[in-house]
A and B are shown apart, each in its own frame.
Chain A
Amino acid sequence: MLEAIELLGKTVGGGDLIAGIIEDLKNIPKDPEEGFYLVKLDFREEEPGKLRLRFDFEEIPKNKEQRYEFLTRWRHVGNASGHNPQKFLTTNQLHYLTGQVIPNLLQELSSQGEEGSELARKLKIIREKAFSCLEGGEVVLDLGRLGIAGEEKAEKEESKQGKKKAKEQAKQVADVLVKLVEQKLGIKKRQVGLWTLLFNGEPLVQAEPYDRVILRYRLAGFEGEDLVAGTCLVCGKEKEKVSAQAFKRLKFFKPYITDKVGFASGVSESGFIRNFLICEECFRSFLVVENYLPQHLNFRVGTLSFLLLPTFILFSDSPAWRQEFSRLMNKLTRKTQAFTDLSALIKGEEELERTLEELFEEEGIEDQALLNFLFYQKTQSEFRILGLIKDVAPSRLSRLFRRSNALAQEGRRLLGGEVKDWWIDLTRLYYLLPLRGRDRAEHKKLLYLYQGLLRGEPIEYSFLVKEFLELAHLYLTGRFEGTNQRKPNSGQEERALATQLLHAGFFLKLLREEGILKGVKDLPSFEPDQELMVNQEMREYLKSINYSEPQAALFLLGYLLNEVGKGQYSSGHQSKPVLDKINYQGMNWSRVLSLANQLFEKLRQYDRLRGQNEILYAEMKRLLDRYRQDKWPLGPEENVFYILSGYAYGTRATVLKKEKEVGE
């Protein structure tokens, strides 16, 4: 992992550190029509001894490259992390600018010996003429002094103490400014991406020595008494100054911390110098990489995030190799994106064809890198690693692509819809497991699945069947709250459940074909062509999914269950009471037999024992009866799963039929 970071640092980190740590914006409106703006608060010396506040704005480009240029120009490096004092002049939090930024920045300039600088001079004028001092010595922007009427403060707030009070007041002032901006510029609060300060029309971020303030903040670990001469444990070189505390200024990627002495050698803060030291040059690379990672190598599956970190067994330091590396990274990230969520990447069938062609194209990339999927959770400043799926060969992704593509094509042929409806990717798998949001360990189930798939390791069949049953139960009871499942639109519940169960069937098929389905009994397959009297579509489906005889029997049972359900629905039931006969915890052989017998009665009751159904019932019974004497080979949970798979197939067929009728 360290090598991947170092390699990325060497490649993406150029000479200009500020350009490397520019942060992108998160809340850009998706609506292309809606503008997104940087609002400039311009303090102007229009009258002697007084300042006036003028407002201006500039649109933030939506195009990524142009936006990056724009954000670099306005020096958007984010806010100070954790409890560190805020001192950046371009920020997304207006109350920082109306409160603590100017005094903090002046203090910083003073400590740097820059009291006489252009920036300090301008800031002092603003502080003296536009800010007021509170009782505790905190200063807050005073709109009254700028000739802007503010709202009266509530009395109870007067009793609040120092900093807290100052913060509250800074927020109140910010609220007034937001309203003014709305009135004067016609820009709503949600359209403001950033705020910045100007003095007499000149951006303060361009005044000397603002850039040095930024750098000093991020490189704070390389000042002070903690520095020692020693070996940088990243590059391995002897350096005059190496730091153990530099990591404190990392904002995103923090698998290493120095705020708990329990981690230090000898359980004392000075012991950190015996653990992990870094030189300034390597730390600069770290800063750039930790900014690059969330912007370029971050992927999301549902509520889970992961970083893609490549490893190279052999690499060189040459510029040509670095160029090659960038190209490889583009290709690898695109491949990973496609396997994370194909639907998000493509729109139509034509685009799918093109994307697949591009993804399948191999140029030796398969031998050059290994991919590490680092799943993490980021809460405030904590970076918690949830799991690391190591060393996935890009060729493994290609192989899974091919497999998934073949399955998806087959899905479309057998069950209609589009190819991408049947595609299996990480996002689809996320929705195939019912995960309780409140349980922090639930992600382990998903990571187990991903690890098996990506690394070709066995996945327990019984685990999957159990999860699929829980999923079906969740859909049938409609208790989606607190889970990872999306509530289907009203009236679409059955269709959604059927689709999920069919995906589950295809996923099992994929694992079986990959040879990584563990614990599945080796049952003899049979030829539905010769041995089963069912219609052509169903025969094709059974053949494709390669069900054994007992599985096919249950499939037919499930299909007939759907027929009864249809009968019940058309005879006025709001739900399908026949589904209550299924126990989602599992049904043993005798319960299955009992259900099969009851089904006959129900088919008759709802006038469904006609034509094809009668034949299907006979076929189902014939297959079941073969095992009357012998031991039934499937377990209780499997029984329910295969019944539900037939039910799902039946539901899908009904939906398609309806759609066809509407189309005609």
Chain B
Amino acid sequence: MVNVAVFDLVGPFAHFRKYYTNSSSLSYAFPPRTALMGTVAAVLGWERDSYYEKLGLSEARFAVVIKVPVRRLIQTVNYIRTKEEDLNRLRKLEAVKGTQVPLELLLPGGTASSLCFRVYFAHRDDQVTRELAERLAAGRSYFPLYLGLTEFIAQARLVDFKPPDEIIPAGQEVELHSVLAADYLRRPVLRGEVALNRERAPQSFGAGRKLMPPRSYIYEMQARPWRAELLIPAYSFFLPSGKETVAFMEGELWPSSPTVTAKESA
């Protein structure tokens, strides 16, 4: 089974703007797949616009777990106004009017002091996953990391690097920790205190940084695991902090790294 790099993205604030809001910017409760692509590329030092294919839906697998309940706060921020009439003044570096934009911030809820998103990443090319894990373990991210906005600096810490410990086949009831692509849900099993939410978020870029079709995701609001029957397999990892079961945003993991298989057959 292919290796998976498990790492935590930690920071005090976050804002992952919903692509359909800008005059009032609302945030997803978790980093969408496009933000995770950027994070991995930043750790590996891949330049902007160079990695969309390398981390595309067929090449990379991502899963994300919201580890700390998220609190939301709308704060109005001052942006520079960039209407057509302002552009000439801006070009001449003259003072221009500002524009106020309500920005929804994510903050740690409960008693936590930082937000924490646990990312599960696997690449078809095992070397990519391995390099990511090594860089994270050594604390050598190539570019600085942030949670959505450059102002919200983040740290990444490697949690583990290994293949999944257990595969739970599709159709079985699982206790899921990760965000789930809605079309992989066969049936939620609503027991106890569970508050599910559904969001449509981007998943990848195409040529020219154009957004690919977005997808709906389901997550638990209070960072609690929830039970469901899925249409895809789920993967359990025995981590130092305990067992976690996730479903990848793109579906199944590869049984083994194709690169390795090719080498072996050669």
Contact = CB atoms under 8 A, between A and B. Distances in A.
A233 B26 contact: no
A313 B26 contact: no
Contacts of A1: 18, 20-21, 26
Interface stretch (B3-11, B122-130, B192-200): B192-200
Given A3-B216, A236-B214, A255-B22, A265 B74 contact: no
A386 B208 contact: no
Given A254-B23, A385-B26, 6 more contacts: A260-B82, A274-B209, A313-B188, A370-B196, A384-B23, A385-B21
Contacts of A52: none
Contacts, number: 111
Contact of A391 (B104, B197, B212): B197
Interface residues of B, number: 42
A211 B79 CA distance: 40
B210 to A, nearest CB: 5
B102 to A, nearest CB: 5
Interface string B17-35: 0111111101000000000
A260 B84 CA distance: 7
Point out which of B19, B99, B102 has the most chain A C-beta atoms below 10 A from its C-beta: B102
Interface in A207-263: 230-231, 233-234, 236-237, 254-257, 259-263
Contacts of B206: 231
Point out which of A237, A260, A311, A390 has the most chain B C-beta atoms below 10 A from its C-beta: A260
B87 to A, nearest CB: 7
A234 B20 CA distance: 9
Given A256-B22, A385-B24, A390-B72, A261 B87 contact: yes
A384 B102 contact: yes
The binding surface of chain A is classed by DSSP as mixed
A388 B18 CA distance: 13
Point out which of A233, A254, A261, A274 has the most chain B C-beta atoms below 10 A from its C-beta: A233
B197 A274 contact: no
A388 B104 contact: yes
19 contacts: A1-B20, A1-B21, A1-B26, A2-B20, A3-B199, A3-B200, A231-B210, A237-B213, A254-B23, A255-B22, A260-B82, A262-B79, A262-B80, A275-B211, A313-B196, A313-B218, A370-B196, A384-B102, A390-B72
B168 to A, nearest CB: 21
B200 A263 contact: no
Given A260-B81, A276-B20, A385 B197 contact: no
Contacts of A143: none
Nearest to B212: A231
B211 A383 contact: no
Contacts of B21: 1, 255-256, 385
Given A231-B211, A236-B214, A387 B74 contact: yes
B23 A383 contact: yes
B198 A3 contact: yes
A601 interface: no
Given A2-B18, A262-B79, A382 B213 contact: no
Contacts of B87: 261
A59 interface: no
B74 A260 contact: no
Contacts of A234: 20
A202 interface: no
A384 to B, nearest CB: 6
B22 A257 contact: yes
A233 B83 contact: no
B112 interface: no
A256 B20 contact: yes
A464 B199 CA distance: 34
B97 to A, nearest CB: 11
Interface string A436-454: 0000000000000000000
Contacts of B210: 230-231, 273-274
Nearest to A391: B197
A393 interface: yes
A231 B104 CA distance: 27
A381 to B, nearest CB: 10
A402 B53 CA distance: 55
- 7 smallest CB-CB distances across A and B, nearest first, come from A262-B82, A385-B24, A236-B213, A255-B21, A260-B82, A257-B23, A263-B22
A526 to B, nearest CB: 33
A158 interface: no
Interface string A266-292: 010000011111000000000000000
B190 interface: yes
